[in-house]
Amino acid sequence: MKKTLIFLFIFISCFLFSQEISFNIKDKPNDDGAALILSWDTSQIEASKIIIERKAPDSDLIIITSSQEVVGTFEDGTDIDPGIEYNYRLSALDENGKVLHIVRTTASSSSQWFNKKKISLLILALLISVSIVYYIFSAKSGKDLYIRKIGGLESMDESVGRATEMGRPILFIPGTLDLDDMQTIAGLTLLRRLAQKAAEYDAKLIVPVCRSMVLSTAKEVVKEAYMKAGRPDAFDPDSVFYLTDDQFGYVAGVDGIIVREKPAANFFLGAFYAESLILAETGFSSGAIQTAGTAMPSQLPFFVVACDYTLIGEELFAASAYLSKDPHQLGSLKGQDFGKAIFIVVLTIGIILEISGVHFLKDFLALH
C-alpha cells in the first residue's frame, strides 16, 4: 500500500511537473525541409522571458530567438537542412533573468515531394492547360473557330499604310520590363508582324528599347521579319537601339524621338508603369495614330484616353495568335475562353457559398 502511494505520488508529481511547460517542434509542412516550427506554452509558470537555443551536430549552441510571449510559435528557417537532427533548448526566465525552467528536445526536418497547399492551383492549371491543348487539336482537325474582331490589331495595316503614305517612321516600344516578363515577349511577337509589314510597305521602323536583353531579341526579331518579307537589304541594324535602363531617362529619350522624328504610328505594346501616359500623350500631341496594349490594369485608363486603339490585358497576349490566323494558335485562344468559363462558374459558386456561410471553396482555393 505504501509503495503504491509513493508510486502514485511520483506519478502525479511528474504529471503536474510535465504540465508546467510545453515545448514542441514539428517540421514545417509543404516545404523543402528548410524550416522547423517551434511552439511553446509557459502559461503554467510565471516566466517573463523565454530563450530558445539550437545546436547542430557540428556546431555550438546558438540563440535563435527570445520572446516575452507566454504562448507562442517561431519558425526556425535559418541554416536548417533536412534529415539532420537538431537539439533545442528552451529556457524560461523570471523578470530578474533567473532560469526557472529548462526544456530540451530534438527535431529534424524533412522535404516534401508535393506541396499540398497548391492542389487547387494544380487542378485549375491542369483543367485550363488540357482545355487549351484540346482546342489546339480541335482546330488542327479543321473545326471552325470563331474569334471576335480586335480593333487594335485590325488597324495595324492601316497604321503602317499611313506611315508609308506620310513618309514618316513607325515607332515601336516593347514596354519597360525585361525579357522575363510575358508582356515583353507578347510585344516582341507583335513586333515581328509589324516589322514584316513595314518591310513590305518600305516604311521606316524605330525600336528604342530600355533593356539590353530586349535589344538583342528585338534586333533578331526585326532582322528575321525583313528576311521573311524578302527584303533583308532594307533592314537597318541601327533601327533597334538601346537608350537606358532608367525609367524616366527612357521616357525622355522616347519623347525626344517622338518630337523630332514625328512618327506617323506609335505602338506601345508591353509592360508599362508611370511612363505610359507621358509617352502616349506626347504621341497624341504629335498627331500619330496610336495603338497600345498592356496587362497593367492601372495603366490601361491612360492608354484608353490617349491612344486610338488599346489592347486590354488578354488581347495583348492573343494578338500574335489572332494575326497569324494559324489554327493551332487560334485553338489556344478558345482554350483560354474555356478557362474564363471555369472562372465564372467557380466565382459564382464561391459567392453563393460565402453568402451561405460555407467557406469550403475559399479555403480550398487559398494558396497560403
The interface with another protein within residues 126-185 (CB under 8 A) comprises 128-129, 132-133, 136, 178, 180, 182, 185
Q: Identify residues 16-35 at the interface with another protein (CB under 8 A).
A: 30-33
Q: Which residues make Cβ contacts (< 8 Å) with residue 117, sequence separation at least 6?
A: 30, 367, 368
The torsion angle over the Cα atoms of residues 234, 311, 242 and 298, rounded to 10 degrees, is 170
Cβ of residue 41: shortest distance to another protein, in angstroms? 29
The C-alpha atoms of residue 235 and residue 16 are separated, in whole angstroms, by 86
The C-alpha atoms of residue 57 and residue 126 are separated, in whole angstroms, by 43
The torsion angle over the Cα atoms of residues 112, 113, 118 and 122, rounded to 10 degrees, is 180
Q: Count H helices and E strands in the chain, helices first.
A: 12, 13
Selected from 268, 295, 309, 322, the binder of another protein by CB under 8 A is: 295
Compare residues 55 and 223 and give the one whose CB is closer to another protein: 223
Q: Identify residues 110-129 at the interface with another protein (CB under 8 A).
A: 111-115, 118, 121-122, 125, 128-129
Selected from 300, 308, 309, 322, the binder of another protein by CB under 8 A is: 300
**How many C-beta atoms surround the C-beta of residue 71 within 10 A?**
11
Compare residues 104 and 328 and give the one whose CB is closer to another protein: 328
The C-alpha atoms of residue 206 and residue 240 are separated, in whole angstroms, by 6
Count of residues near another protein by CB under 8 A: 89
Binding of another protein at residue 201 (CB under 8 A)?
Answer: no
Binding of another protein at residue 348 (CB under 8 A)?
Answer: no
Binding of another protein at residue 281 (CB under 8 A)?
Answer: yes
By the 8 A CB rule, do 174 and 304 touch? no
Span of 68-76, 86-94, 164-172, 212-220 interacting with another protein by CB under 8 A = 212-220
Residue whose grid cell is 505520488:
9
Binding of another protein at residue 343 (CB under 8 A)?
Answer: yes
The rounded radius of gyration (Å) of the Cα atoms in the chain is 32
Helix (H) or strand (E) holding 161: helix 156-166
Compare residues 158 and 178 and give the one whose CB is closer to another protein: 178
Q: Identify residues 34-73 at the interface with another protein (CB under 8 A).
A: none
Q: Identify residues 228-267 at the interface with another protein (CB under 8 A).
A: 228, 238, 241-246, 248-249, 251-252, 256, 260
Selected from 216, 262, 350, 361, the binder of another protein by CB under 8 A is: 216
